A and B are shown apart, each in its own frame.
Chain A
């Protein structure tokens, strides 16, 4: 197992059973009592993967689409970027016994500020990169909610693999078995 994957695997749930995935961060778990959660995605994108047979799940919270903006920083913090974080998320899950063909993949986030008329489009570019990367690698998105300008909290209990989004006190189920 790689050093990065070992470190990712070592993340233990807190006293409430949560594994909090911060910005530019990813986590995996095979603990059926653990819940992966990332708070208030804005233009960042949260990706969840879940193998219902191996009961292994992972979550990534990346900030920018491409690591070319700073390759040196990307080497130290691969979860900051979609093009380095997503492959790492999948590879780390394989090391825990997950298989690509069984994987349920969901995504949320990629919101925009109100009047971005094409100068920055951080959320849109994150969404485009995600689509392209999945298309190239024959990965189907099982469910997703992206765009707009609201924040989204992404939640996935490992026991069920159910993926939900929370916003302003309401929870919507994105995917359930």
Chain B
């Protein structure tokens, strides 16, 4: 059994697919997004239903305290907002408590996931290079490999690095040296186990090393998620012991016209959306970190 399978087998309940996320990801990837099915998923999940009612009664949608019927809420919000609420709710459950292996505080990994989702969606929208919904869900899931490391190894994952020592060089290489595999590869393997579409698995695997156009594995979706990862890094939403030890792929700057002005605009938009979302959540997580 390879190192990847060993770690996946050690990560407990994480190895089985979060049904709602897997279904929404598949619908977006195939281009057959079915609002009716999303409605069924919402009605079957108590936590998501509560989030829908909270959202539709927030000031953002202009009807605070007036909508008590879930079906009315679903109609009022519309399919894009519903999709985001479904994914945000499930990702909170998935990412909320994780991150210890990477020196992150509670909720940081979740903020990083949501930040990456927002940034990827916006880059896809601005550049019109791929479906924004697909970019959103792929940006959201890009670091699920960190969940595996966290669940399988916890705080001891990088303990062999002496305290206070700040290694240099690419962090994914430190992961390969200490764990035998990096989080991007692990995340792709987990996504495959979950049965997620190949395109999403590929983007997760290559989100730190996207292939240039014409090379095997090249996909603009991966480029978008790679750029979104840097937005999250610069925003400070999810900086752990890995610091900023990542390299930006040169071809992505050109293919997405990803420059300083565009990056700063994305940074501000992403941070504002995160703060607005946190403000809108009544049981707001402790404010945090980067």
The reply to whether chain A is a binding partner of chain B is yes
Known A20-B288, A77-B272, A111-B244; judge A43-B237 contact (CB<8 A). Answer: no
Told that A113-B246, A168-B164 touch, could you supply 17 new A-B pairs with CB distance under 8 A? A20-B287, A20-B288, A23-B235, A23-B236, A40-B240, A41-B236, A42-B234, A63-B234, A63-B235, A69-B261, A113-B230, A114-B247, A151-B239, A151-B243, A167-B241, A168-B166, A169-B163
> B267 near A: Cβ within 8 Å?
yes
Interface 0/1 of B240-273, CB less than 8 Å to A: 1111111110000100000111011101100110
Contacts of B169 in A (CB 8 A): 114
Contacts of A30 in B (CB 8 A): none
Q: Specify which of A25, A39, A113, A119 is in contact with B244 (CB 8 Å cutoff).
A: A113
> A170 near B: Cβ within 8 Å?
yes
> B283 near A: Cβ within 8 Å?
no
Contacts of B260 in A (CB 8 A): 119-121
> B290 near A: Cβ within 8 Å?
yes
A residues with a Cβ closer than 8 A to B are 14, 20, 22-25, 38-44, 61, 63-64, 69-70, 73, 77, 80, 111-116, 119-123, 148-151, 167-170
B residues with a Cβ closer than 8 A to A are 103-105, 108, 161, 163-166, 168-170, 230, 233-237, 239-248, 253, 259-261, 263-265, 267-268, 271-272, 275, 286-290
Main secondary structure of the interface of A (DSSP, over half): loop
Contacts of A63 in B (CB 8 A): 234-236, 267, 271
Do B166 and A44 touch across chains, with their CB atoms under 8 A apart? no
Do B243 and A73 touch across chains, with their CB atoms under 8 A apart? no
Q: Specify which of A41, A114, A115, A123 is in contact with B290 (CB 8 Å cutoff).
A: A41
Contacts of A149 in B (CB 8 A): 168, 243-245
Do A23 and B170 touch across chains, with their CB atoms under 8 A apart? no
Contacts of A116 in B (CB 8 A): 248
Contacts of B246 in A (CB 8 A): 113-114
Known A22-B289, A168-B165; judge A40-B265 contact (CB<8 A). Answer: no
Do B264 and A42 touch across chains, with their CB atoms under 8 A apart? no
Do A80 and B103 touch across chains, with their CB atoms under 8 A apart? no
Q: Specify which of A43, A70, A148 is in contact with B234 (CB 8 Å cutoff).
A: A43
Docked Cα-Cα span, A73 to B264, in Å, equals 12
